[in-house]
Amino acid sequence: MEHVLKVDKVDKIYGKGANSYQALENISFTIEAGEFVGIMGPSGAGKSTLLHVLATIDSPTSGDIFIEQDNIAKMKDEQLADFRRDHLGFIFQDYNLLDSLTVRENILLPLAIAKQPAKEIQEKVHAVAQTFGIEDLLEKYPYQISGGQKQRTASCRALISQPKLIFADEPTGALDSKSATDLLESLSSLNTEHEATIMMVTHDAYAASFCRRILFIQDGCLSKEMIRGNQSRKQFFQLILDEMAQIGGDGHDII
């Protein structure tokens, strides 16, 4: 299988000298095309740091990060901005929608910035809105729709440019359980039916149980990998809870 992401011996050290703090240590792993991978770990373990470094939002102190054949750890800022726009998709906890734009305009923004032809853009908007069941909301503004619908809009925007890799950072963190389940089911079907490659950071075992593979991070190091294989989502959920109980001593430590 071909890798979409190859992380090789990545370190991240914040600050300098006596005030420095090593947030990531010798992280290496790969994600292959079509995978749905979760990153889990206790609070302060380095999950957000890892996501930021892989998603070109921050740079590693050392190591290499290949997205397909491009080493983003060696790219200059300007090159990174283009790379991010053309090849990566983002879904954040707080949606990051623009309030003055309609749902349709929010979704098509990345393609408009990339100056794609208008007809093509509208066709893509409809296709992606259908996948997430929000065709009826396209002319509404963010303040007129629910949190779950906002997150579906944000997901459509992340996907419309058909990114090589989608990064999701606690995407269900602000949603009620019904909306969270709907979103996780949409992400799963995007992964299985459209072969989207997704990496999702979450502290929530239920959200993680929708992934096919989970990497656990502790004190800046990868500590364990769990693969769902043929297990049902419910069985996988139980295994994740067991693992969290072991790591944290008590599930409440895992936030």
Q: Which is nearer to Mg ion, 45 or 72 (CB)?
A: 45
Residue spans of beta strands (DSSP E) within the chain: 3-14, 21-32, 36-40, 62-67, 70-71, 88-92, 165-169, 198-201, 213-218, 221-227
Using CB under 6 A as the binding rule, whether residue 91 contacts ligand ADP is answered as no
Could you tell me how far CA 248 lies from the centroid of its own chain?
Answer: 24
Q: Which is nearer to ligand ADP, 16 or 76 (CB)?
A: 16
Q: Which is nearer to ligand ADP, 43 or 232 (CB)?
A: 43
Question: Contact at 8 Å (CB) between 66 and 6?
Answer: yes
Residue type, 116: Q
46 binds, among ligand ADP, Mg ion, none (CB under 5 to 8 A by kind): ligand ADP
Smallest distance from Mg ion to CB 200, Å: 13
Using CB under 5 A as the binding rule, whether residue 218 contacts Mg ion is answered as no
**Residue from the set 5, 7, 23, 205 that interacts with ligand ADP by CB under 6 A:** 23
d(CA 85, CA 106): 15
CA distances for 162 relative to 54, 123, 125, angstroms: 18, 13, 12
> What tokens were used for 188?
């799963």
- The residues in 101-140 that bind Mg ion, with binding defined as CB under 5 A, are none
Hey, how many other C-beta atoms are within 10 angstroms of the C-beta on 223? 15
Q: Which is nearer to ligand ADP, 94 or 123 (CB)?
A: 94
Using CB under 6 A as the binding rule, whether residue 14 contacts ligand ADP is answered as yes
Residue type, 145: I
d(CA 163, CA 137): 23
Smallest distance from ligand ADP to CB 64, Å: 20
d(CA 228, CA 213): 6
Question: Contact at 8 Å (CB) between 147 and 176?
Answer: yes
Q: Which is nearer to ligand ADP, 15 or 133 (CB)?
A: 15
Smallest distance from Mg ion to CB 11, Å: 18
Using CB under 6 A as the binding rule, whether residue 16 contacts ligand ADP is answered as no
Smallest distance from Mg ion to CB 220, Å: 13
Smallest distance from ligand ADP to CB 217, Å: 7
Using CB under 5 A as the binding rule, whether residue 48 contacts Mg ion is answered as yes
Smallest distance from ligand ADP to CB 46, Å: 4
Give the full edge-to-edge strand order of the sheet including 21-32: 21-32, 3-14, 62-67, 70-71
Q: Which is nearer to ligand ADP, 47 or 228 (CB)?
A: 47
- The residues in 24-83 that bind ligand ADP, with binding defined as CB under 6 A, are 41, 43-49
Contacts to Mg ion by CB under 5 A = 47-48
Contacts to ligand ADP by CB under 6 A = 14-15, 21, 23, 41, 43-49
